[in-house]
Amino acid sequence: MAIPLFGCQAHGGKILSLDDRFVYRDSATLQGTGGQAYIPYLVSSRFRGPAASGHGKLRRIVQRVYKQSQCLVALRLFRDGLDSGQSIPRALTVDVGPLVAFPANVFATEFQVRFEISSFDAEITLGSGEIWVVPYRRGGRR
């Protein structure tokens, strides 16, 4: 099921449908010329690992990225509501499959991820993803 996404132009006051596959630039003419590239991003809701309470280590994220042009996907990791300082970029080409793996090493009680997509000129779709969180074992190493 598709969820419609809308955005406002930085200059001009128009509301754009961001899931329109022909909208790639802010303030572009109706013919699609001119304007500035925008950088869409998605921030997940907070999530925990398999343990009901306690700490865990986010070790890996796999995201499906369906693309019709090359693009740059950057993953930013958050722990307990704060930026972890870890950013993992991936340059993707059209001929590579949709699965993109991001290794991680973040220790927290709650996690959040931010996907940022840039340098694209055709439709890009984020599909389903998977995460691996290892529960913290008492007496063990972090």
Please state, for a pLDDT cut of 90, what percent of the chain lies above it: 45
pTM: 0.71
Average pLDDT (109-119) is 92
- What are the structural domain ranges in the chain? 1-34, 39-135
Would the pLDDT of 1 be above 50? Answer: no
Q: Hey, what CATH class is 39-135 in?
A: mainly beta
CA 87 to each of CA 33, 57, 123: distance values in angstroms, whole numbers, following the listed order: 32, 16, 23
